Amino acid sequence: MRVLFDPIKISYQNLNGAKFRSFLTMLGIIIGVASVIVVMSIGGSAQKLILSQIKGIGSNLIGILPGASEEEGPPAMALGITITTLKYKDYEALLDSRKAPDIVDAAAYVTGTALVKSPSETRQVNYQGVTASLINVENVSVEQGRFFIKQEDTNLARVAVLGSATAKDLFPNVDPVGKNIVIKDQSFTVVGVLEKRGSSGFSNTDEEMFVPLYTAQKILLGIDHLTFIRAKVANEANVERTIADVKSTLREQHNIKDSADDDFSVRSTAQALEILTTITNVLKYFLTSIAAISLLVGGVGIMNIMLVSVKQRIWEIGLRQAVGAKKRDIVLQFLIESIFITFSGGIAGITLGGSVAFLSSLVIQKLGYEWEFSLPIQSILFATGIAILIGLIFGMYPASKAGRVSPMEALRYE
């Protein structure tokens, strides 16, 4: 035990005697470890938020999107590609109980962004053109007024339903129901305000606006295709069978004979969760690897400082060798000092990173998101392990150089 205890004691005394230099040496490791902790903590919390919101939509829903995709890969829409193969007649076909008997309801969607003006405010708002069935498919609740009805889907009715946050932005301290707003020079009447729903996936539905599908297509967007369709299945156990029915129906609609020629993608909530988990994991670990680069920079800094330390302490090395210290003792001494620096920097980095992640979670919660603070134990173990490994690797060369110092030359060195 003394073989290890004595070098650790000497390392502590040497580093404590040069506090400022030791701190500067640790700084790169502190920043690197803190970066890794922050990225993994915030990334993990963001992943939990997104996945919990997708689960909250419902496990008995099926999404139909335009464009083919790999079975395990993201659909084209997720890559920002606009495809126009999905039409309103496809939505109607899916509601035919003879073709898809387990679908109890479905909603068709288009999306857009527009400058919306109320009598007192002007805001850039994301909107969805939807069928009146949205209120049943997504279990939406109306807080004030009403949702638009089926007849308003197809007669180009200029009515709008506002998300709770949008209502407050456009009509602060005023009941918006019955008031008029202007969207792309067209006057719309606000007929309802939704209850607060929170974020869903990558969007906050409270900050959106909803208008009848045909109104959005013909008046606001000038298109005849759909962005996506969402279908509700009577029983979660029948989701896989319904997916097969949906594919069969759409192939018939689009005159597709070979499944390899599909121009659509069908995903259940469970499949969407798997894909999102994969995507968010890739992003999280990619960002972690970028943050970990700063640890390598810190390691180079430690090696440089340790090389300087070897040069400054040549007389000390010679003296220790003269009183019986072996080469391995000198090597071990400098190696332990390097590891001690990185380990101490790692502990400080974990504390700093955890504090930043915690404060970030408080800020995000204040912004209205149901954010859960997360500090995975694997992130702490990963950061600490990498820090110690860097100390070992980058301390090896200075330590071996110290071990090669000749005792006679060292004692003559001034």
pLDDT digits 0-9 by tens, 259-287: 888 888 888 776 666 666 777 777 777 77
* CA–CA distance, 171 with 22 (Å, rounded to integer): 58
Residue 294, Cβ neighbours under 10 Å: how many? 19
Determine the length of the chain: 414
The whole-number pLDDT of residue 202 equals 46
Is a pLDDT exceeding 60 seen at residue 76? no
Confidence of residue 339 (pLDDT cuts 50, 70, 90): confident
The distance from CA 393 to its chain's CA centroid, rounded to whole angstroms, is: 33
Confidence of residue 68 (pLDDT cuts 50, 70, 90): confident
Please report, in angstroms and rounded to a whole number, the separation of the first and last CA atoms in the chain: 34
**Which is higher by pLDDT, 122 or 408?**
122
Q: How many helices (H) and strands (E) does the chain have?
A: 13, 12
* CA–CA distance, 50 with 124 (Å, rounded to integer): 24
Assigned token pair, 35? 């970066």
Is a pLDDT exceeding 90 seen at residue 234? no
The whole-number pLDDT of residue 226 equals 94
Confidence of residue 319 (pLDDT cuts 50, 70, 90): low
Is a pLDDT exceeding 50 seen at residue 201? no
> Do residues 77 and 406 make contact, with C-beta atoms less than 8 angstroms apart?
no
The whole-number pLDDT of residue 132 equals 92
pTM above 0.85, yes or no: no
Is a pLDDT exceeding 90 seen at residue 384? no
The whole-number pLDDT of residue 40 equals 80
Hey, which residues does 180 pair with through a beta bridge? 189
Nearest Cα to Cα of residue 62 among 5, 104, 16, 10: 104
Residues 6+ apart with CB under 8 A from 340: 8, 11, 12, 15, 391
Residues 6+ apart with CB under 8 A from 58: 138, 139, 232, 269
Assigned token pair, 91? 């939505």
Residue with tokens 């919306």: 116
